Amino acid sequence: MAATGEWDYIIVGGGLAGCVVAHRLKEYKPSSRIVVLEAGPDVSANKEILQYSTLNFIGGQFDWGYKTVPQTHLDGRKLDIPAGKALGGGSVINACGWLRGSAADYDSWAEAVQDERWSYKGQLNYFKLTEKWYDNENADSHGHDGKLQIESPISTGRIYPLASIAEQSFEEAGVKKLPGNDVNTGFNVGFGEINENRKQGARQIAPIAYSLDGITVKTGTLVRGVKIVGSQAVGVHLDDGTEILGKEVIVSAGAYRSPQVLILSGIGPKETLEKHDIEVKVDNPLVGTNYNDHIMLHLNWKLKDPSQGYSLGSPNPLFAKPEFLTGTPLSHVANTPIPRSQLEAAIAKDDGKVDPNHDLLKRDWAVMENLILYLGMPPQAIDGTHIATTMMAMKPTSRGTVTIESKDPKVAPVLDPNFLATEVDKAVWRHSLRGITALMTGNTALGREVIAGETPYPGFEEISVNSSDEYLDSRVKAQGLSTFHGSGSCAMGKVVDGDLRVKGVQNLRVVDASVFPISIGAHIQAAVYALAEQATVIIAGAK
């Protein structure tokens, strides 16, 4: 077995986190020899990828194309789990949503691991370090010299015909507008403008935003596992039989692949390792546990008068203007809570009691993200007759697992997010589905002037504010999707420590969404960028 070179840092995975870590390590320690190993190709020169239409790449050649195991609580369905298979990882195929979540997310993270570096205050400077924010509102909350241009519909001139009506309707429904129209200041209960990390509409993939100049990048390179001698990581085994040796290994393969890499390296549940005839290096039954994801659901709403030109697919000439190709066709994101009484009742069913120290009771949380999209969503055609709402459950309490099916790293990991397994998660959906129905069809500007009613998913009657719990549960079971926000499967405090070091092995760290010990109540890419920024400061000893 041939061994190649000795590197200061071997980074397994060239996704968002891997690119940030490599770039900043080179900046903080310029003499370091760094190699990034990425299974996918380098698509930095592919101009098509940079444009808005690249959501089409989900399910395409740059997507690992994972599926879950049959989901017990979602009618036994296997759900698609896209994941970027290219240098840049998810930044190549994601929707570019830039949403931090709440300060409470990070404060509960810090509390869980007893380390204030991971609190909102501890991470704020790293969020700011990533951002080139589009205006000076809430200046203390945002960076203006960072690597990623952040935009909004208004900043790009996308004033949609329904924007003011949607804003009025949120307010009539009791959802308050956030100061500065900004959902990214640490308090997100309410509504504000959607933000995206785009530059004049163009996608900013991680290896372009965080240059890899001076760093060796090996694409098309699949890692079989970490080479461990005694209790020390000394390199990696590649799937082609070669080894790469180094002083420190940083696994940044994402929430699906990072636990797989650890298990294939002999770090994980003893029973799993022995089942697959893998030498046990560290018996840690928590590797691959705590895996969680956000459920997403679309509803389609029929317009009373499609000739008003509110929706894409209509002949409205506004949508043909170039600025309307610079981002997702929506204006706002509204984050809504659930009444405490409903939350306590659901917790009592799950836990047999109501503990006032339950994480969801200790802080004020938004638990559902609500978007109004100015187009119909599948199975509805984009023909100008419908708009849609997309909802995402932000703080799931259901937890699942990531494990392996085979010793072969080319075989996909086994993904079981265990969606909708708790009463809390069901209660959040019931309350929120009634809330979105009241917004769209009740005594609001949308309900009075715009929406005729829901065009239900095939096999269902139209939703109403009086729909039963059983009916609402059945809609989520039939329609719920993954939002592709897998995290937590190598959780801090369980698998890695506060310095991202894998427990039981020296010179081995994990830096990606798998280390989140809690479910981040947002689209997770902003949190991953901030995590990677702080992780690199820790690794390099930089201040």
Beta-carbon contacts of residue 308 (< 8 Å; ≥ 6 apart): 161, 314, 450
| CA dihedral sign, ordered 72, 74, 77, 83 | negative
pLDDT score for 325: 87
- What are 296-345's pLDDT values in tens digits? 999 999 999 999 999 999 999 999 999 998 899 999 999 999 999 999 99
Q: What are the E-state strand segments in 337-393? A: 368-373, 386-393
Alpha helices (H) along 288-352: 340-351
Could you say which DSSP state residue 400 is in? B
No. of H helices and E strands in the chain?
A: 13, 25
DSSP string, 440-499: HHSSSHIIIIIEEEEEPPTT-PPP-TT--HHHHHHHHHHH-EE-S--B-TT-BTTTB-TT
User: Quick check: bond before 378 cis, omega within 30?
Assistant: no
> Rounded to whole angstroms, how far apart are CA atoms 359 and 443?
34
> Rounded to whole angstroms, how far apart are CA atoms 108 and 184?
17
- Burial classification of residue 180, based on how many CB atoms lie within 10 Å of its CB (0-12 exposed, 13-18 middle, 19 or more buried): middle
Q: By C-alpha distance, which of 402, 376, 85, 61 is closest to 219?
A: 85
DSSP string, 21-74: HHHHHHHHSTT--EEEE-SS---TT-GGGGSGGGGGGTTSTTB--EEBPPBTTT
Token readout for 265 is 């390296």
Angle, helix 120-130 to helix 525-540, in steps of 10 degrees: 100
Other CB atoms within 10 A of residue 154 CB: 14
pLDDT score for 1: 45
Alpha helices (H) along 144-296: 163-172, 206-209, 254-264, 270-275
Token readout for 56 is 């089409």
Per-residue pLDDT of the chain (543 residues; tens, 9 = 90+): 456 668 999 999 999 999 999 999 999 999 999 999 999 999 998 888 877 655 567 888 899 999 999 999 999 999 999 999 999 999 999 999 999 999 999 999 999 999 999 999 999 999 999 999 999 989 999 999 999 999 999 999 999 999 999 999 999 999 999 999 999 999 999 999 999 999 989 999 999 999 999 999 999 999 999 999 999 999 999 999 999 999 999 999 999 999 999 999 999 999 999 999 999 999 999 999 999 999 999 999 999 999 999 999 999 999 999 999 889 999 999 999 999 999 999 999 999 999 999 999 999 999 999 999 999 999 999 999 999 999 999 999 999 999 999 999 999 999 999 999 999 999 999 999 999 999 999 999 999 999 999 999 999 999 999 999 999 999 999 999 999 999 999 999 999 999 999 999 999 999 999 999 999 999 999 999 999 999 999 999 964
Q: By C-alpha distance, which of 361, 360, 369, 345 is closest to 294?
A: 369
pLDDT score for 59: 85
DSSP string, 61-126: TTB--EEBPPBTTTTTBPPEE--B-STTGGGGTS--B-----HHHHHHHHHHHT-GGGSHHHHHHH
> How wide is the angle at C-alpha 221 spanned by C-alphas 93 and 203, nearest 5°?
20
Residues 504/507/513/514 CA torsion (nearest 10 deg): -30
- Burial classification of residue 31, based on how many CB atoms lie within 10 Å of its CB (0-12 exposed, 13-18 middle, 19 or more buried): exposed
> Rounded to whole angstroms, how far apart are CA atoms 227 and 411?
20
From residue 181, alpha-carbon distances to 67, 110, 121, 365, 446 in Å are 37, 28, 21, 18, 20
